[in-house]
Amino acid sequence: MFERYQIDGLFDEMFERPGAARPHYAGLHERIRDLGIEAIKHRSAMADACFRNQGVTFTVYKDALGVEKIFPFDVLPRIIPADEWAVIEKGLVQRITALNLFCHDIYHQQHILREKIIAPDMIYNAKMFRRQMLGINVPRGIYISICGTDLIRDQNGDYLVLEDNCRTPSGVSYVLENRAIMKRIFPAVFQAAHVRPIEDYPHNLLRCLRHLAPPDMSDPCMVVLTPGMHNSAYYEHSFLARQMGLELVEGRDLLVDDNYVYMRTTAGMRRVDVIYRRIDDDFIDPLCFRPDSLLGVAGIMNAYRMGRVALANAVGVGIADDKAIYPYVSDLIRFYLKQDPILKSVPTYICAREDDKNYVLEHLHELVVKSTNEAGGYGMLMGHQATQTEREQFAAKIKADPRNFIAQPVVQISQHPSIIGNQIEGRRIDLRPYILCGSSISVMPGGLTRVALTRGSLVVNSSQGGGSKDTWVLEGQAE
């Protein structure tokens, strides 16, 4: 099965060198060979049928309504040993702590600007900076309750942060569904591996939301706010509402009266205290942001500003995952926490800086250029794979609006064995762990491992044809 497996000079998660599995993969490697490709493919087909029947889907925007698709699932799990995970976990906790302090600072005293760590125009020109939030105190001072941070591994196997998703990170439902399926189709393999459980995530999320309600309220009404059925991540919204036992509401289910938020029920209006919103700032209040939005709730920002409803995540957190702020996060950690960053970042050129911009324009063919305000793999240029015309078009865009672009060298991210047709081949992967910030900070052991199913592709986004796999963080000695 692995006879023709190629490592190609990359960092391979499973193999140290051809044929030699890393110690933490040894058990799995052996099991896969015992099972044989037919048995694995059979189980993989079972998993696909399960996903389809349960409607575990995401929507790809092709036409007005979009097409429901199954998130391709690769049954070979990714394994992370306990000691590696311990470092990642510490690094992520450090990062979300700094980012929360940063958000609070930006919308209050702005020490970071006064100390000239970041130039004011980087903040004030950011599309995700929300003037409306200046001087507003959010519940418990927590801006980012839920964060999904994308990690990659470079050719040396070092974990690097690729980006932080502080607004409405999605994918956690697939993590939980992938795990449920893996336990069903590979019970023996799973059991033998001693994997840390993740099933308490919805419970932790609920506690995290509860933390934002007024402390004296005995039974706060908490809801999940979705843009609706046609949203790409609708499945996840519904899944989380179900798992937490909360109502899933759409904008049209809510209204604001006298600066309180209510939901329309068959028994009349019921006050809502905490909203886990899966709608971007832009769409959440037509009176405050995009006036053409039908997804949000008119007047909710005033209720929010008056502290009568809590939103998770807070409005304005987009400033923290702006791709042009990303290169400063290490500085933020040093500034706010007086610590050295535990996780490394990818070297980044900020086109808003004249020198960087010139460098980027001259080296487009070896850089990945990203639009600072887009996600999901949209609006980016893979310089080394693009055509001359594409590069020229992108260069024009960069010159027109440099603040909107950053560039990074191409990182040859690590690969992992995947089932491809009748054999096993290496495919590039990344990792998105989920971090919850409530009365304490908890990191889900593992997270969403996304895999670029096209050979040689570095883009793992589901909207660009990526798949996912289960992520196993192994149990280790308690520290």
CB of 165 to another protein, least distance (A): 23
Q: Is 98 exposed, middle or buried (0-12, 13-18, 19+ CB in 10 A)?
A: buried
Contact pick of 35, 93, 229, 458 for another protein (by CB under 8 A): 229
Contact pick of 8, 53, 292, 355 for another protein (by CB under 8 A): 53
> 200 to 219, contacts with another protein by CB under 8 A?
217-219
By C-beta, is 51 or 472 nearer to another protein? 51
CB of 267 to another protein, least distance (A): 4
3-state SS assignment for residue 69: strand
172 binds another protein per the rule CB under 8 A: no
Count the residues in the chain: 479
**What is the number of alpha carbons within 13 Å of residue 397 lying toward its C-beta?**
17
184 binds another protein per the rule CB under 8 A: no
By C-beta, is 16 or 257 nearer to another protein? 257
Contact pick of 64, 188, 267, 478 for another protein (by CB under 8 A): 267
CB of 220 to another protein, least distance (A): 9
By C-beta, is 134 or 217 nearer to another protein? 217
CB 233 within 8 A of CB 58: yes
Separation of alpha carbons 41 and 19, rounded Å: 21
By C-beta, is 272 or 474 nearer to another protein? 272
Separation of alpha carbons 154 and 162, rounded Å: 11
Residue 21: partners with Cβ closer than 8 Å, 6 or more residues away: 14, 15, 28, 29
Contact pick of 155, 265, 439, 440 for another protein (by CB under 8 A): 265
By C-beta, is 114 or 270 nearer to another protein? 270
3-state SS assignment for residue 68: strand
DSSP labels, 296-328: S-TTHHHHHHTTSSEEESPTTGGGTS-TTTGGG
Tell me how many residues contact another protein (CB under 8 A): 30
CB 80 within 8 A of CB 474: yes
CB of 291 to another protein, least distance (A): 18
Element (H, E) at 210: helix 201-210
Residue 372: partners with Cβ closer than 8 Å, 6 or more residues away: 126, 127, 322, 323, 324, 403, 404, 405, 406
CB of 259 to another protein, least distance (A): 14
CB of 128 to another protein, least distance (A): 30
CB of 411 to another protein, least distance (A): 39
253 binds another protein per the rule CB under 8 A: yes
CB 430 within 8 A of CB 26: no
The stretch among 182-190, 257-265, 280-288, 375-383 that binds another protein (CB under 8 A) is 257-265
248 binds another protein per the rule CB under 8 A: yes
CB of 272 to another protein, least distance (A): 11
Contact pick of 184, 203, 242, 365 for another protein (by CB under 8 A): 242
Rounded (to 5) percent helix, strand, coil in the chain: 35, 25, 40
Chain residues binding another protein by CB under 8 A are 52-55, 217-219, 228-229, 238-239, 241-242, 247-250, 252-253, 255, 257, 263-271
